[in-house]
């Protein structure tokens, strides 16, 4: 999108608060009276076999970008690319799984678009409403801020293991539950505790999305690997090297900016580059509000954890 930036200069569009010039999770438009519209879209092919789960995960993932910006979703449009020979009940299950998620978030599906495609792809365009004074972006980090991750990582690794016939459906169940979980409660807790810097962890992995937060502020992060929550069996399948190609692409791009202690083996290091689907929120919070934020997160996100802090030196160090 960057070649288009010059076509829409900031001076000509002063109500676009977050647009093409920012590396952020959604676009933000000023509505007046302190209110903003947050607009995003996302879609992808199935990450699990169950149609309803796929729809639910895709909806949770699409709405997550709105929550990561400090707003709440109010309206969604389906984006459905389905094969012409796909049984109608399969498409219906995808749509129903997504719709139940949107309804549980207090939003509404108001339309969409469907077209033929060789393989199924599904997602949503989502509109959220928030306020300027509680907007969360990827910038604004300061040394001393604590970094809180609300969901465990490892979904890319484990869904890959399942696709390769290595991980049973029972073993996949906690992964599906994590991907289906909505980030609304986490975002609400963050706003209530003064969080103004956040993102959600998706295809670029924990390291990639963290760097997108750190670099606009000219700061770095010091992480504790043992504090990073992992999905069940993630460690085992990491040791087996069951990573998708996206993990290695992330590693090739981001690893020059990530330093690891010699005590961490290659499998552990790769987990930071594992692409996630519908991952948790990564939030920067003032040190004096860390404990109360974690307490507020625990009922909905019991594995939420402080995984490190913001430091002056650029890049990420992991001990």
Q: What is the pLDDT of residues 87-126, one digit of tens each?
A: 999 999 999 999 999 999 999 999 999 999 999 999 999 9
Across the chain, mean pLDDT equals 96
* Residue 135 near residue 196, CB atoms below 8 Å: yes
Q: What are the residue boundaries of the structural domains of the chain, listed by start?
A: 2-134, 146-318
Q: What is the pLDDT of residues 30-52, one digit of tens each?
A: 999 999 999 999 999 999 999 99
- Check pLDDT > 90 for residue 198: yes
Per-residue pLDDT band for 21 (boundaries 50, 70, 90) equals confident
* Residue 120 near residue 86, CB atoms below 8 Å: yes
CATH no. of 146-318: 3.90.650.10
CATH no. of 2-134: 3.30.1330.10
Per-residue pLDDT band for 294 (boundaries 50, 70, 90) equals very high
- Check pLDDT > 90 for residue 6: no
**Same fold yes or no, 2-134 and 146-318:** no
* Residue 81 near residue 122, CB atoms below 8 Å: yes
How many residues make up the chain in this entry? 319
- Check pLDDT > 90 for residue 2: no
Per-residue pLDDT band for 239 (boundaries 50, 70, 90) equals very high
- Check pLDDT > 90 for residue 11: no
3-state secondary structure 71-135: CEEEEEEEEEEECCCCCHHHHHHHHHHHHHHHHHCCCEEEEEEEEECCCCEEEEEEEEEEEHHHC
Percent of the chain with pLDDT over 70: 99
Where is 31: in which H helix or E strand? strand 27-32
DSSP code per residue over 179-231: HHS-SHHHHHHHHHTT--EEEE--TTHHHHHHHHHHGGGT-EEEE-GGGS-B-
The alpha carbon of 210 is separated from its chain's Cα centroid by a whole number of angstroms, namely 11
* Residue 73 near residue 128, CB atoms below 8 Å: yes
Percent of the chain with pLDDT over 90: 94
Burial class (CB in 10 A: 0-12, 13-18, 19+), 223: buried
């Amino acid at each position: 999108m960057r070649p288009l930036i010059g076509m829409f200069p900031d001076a000509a569009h002063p109500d676009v608060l977050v647009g093409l010039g920012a590396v952020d999770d959604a676009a933000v438009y000023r509505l007046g009276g302190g209110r903003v519209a947050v607009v995003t879209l996302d879609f992808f092919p199935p990450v699990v076999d169950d149609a309803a789960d796929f729809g639910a995960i895709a909806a949770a993932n699409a709405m997550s970008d709105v929550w990561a910006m400090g707003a709440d979703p109010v309206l969604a449009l389906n984006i459905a690319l389905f094969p012409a020979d796909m049984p109608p009940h399969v498409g219906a299950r995808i749509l129903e799984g997504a719709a139940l998620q949107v309804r549980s978030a207090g939003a509404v599906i108001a339309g969409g678009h469907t077209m033929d495609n060789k393989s199924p792809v599904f997602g949503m365009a989502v509109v959220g409403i928030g306020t300027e004074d509680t907007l969360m972006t990827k910038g604004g980090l300061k040394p001393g801020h604590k970094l809180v991750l609300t969901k465990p990582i490892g979904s890319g690794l484990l869904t890959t293991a399942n696709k390769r016939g290595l991980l049973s459906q029972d073993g996949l169940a906690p992964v599906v539950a994590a991907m289906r979980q909505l980030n609304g409660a986490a975002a609400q807790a963050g706003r209530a505790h003064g969080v103004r810097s956040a993102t959600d962890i998706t295809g670029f992995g924990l390291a990639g999305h963290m760097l997108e937060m750190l670099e606009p502020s000219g700061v770095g992060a010091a992480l504790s690997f043992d504090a990073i929550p992992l999905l069940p069996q993630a460690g085992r399948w990491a040791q087996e090297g069951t990573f998708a190609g996206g993990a290695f692409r992330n590693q090739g791009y981001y690893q020059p900016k990530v330093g690891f202690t010699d005590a961490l083996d290659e499998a552990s290091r790769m987990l930071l580059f594992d692409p996630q689907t519908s991952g948790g929120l990564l939030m920067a919070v003032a040190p004096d509000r860390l404990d109360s934020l974690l307490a507020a997160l625990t009922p909905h996100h019991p594995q939420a954890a402080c995984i490190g802090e913001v430091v002056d030196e650029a890049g990420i160090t992991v001990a």
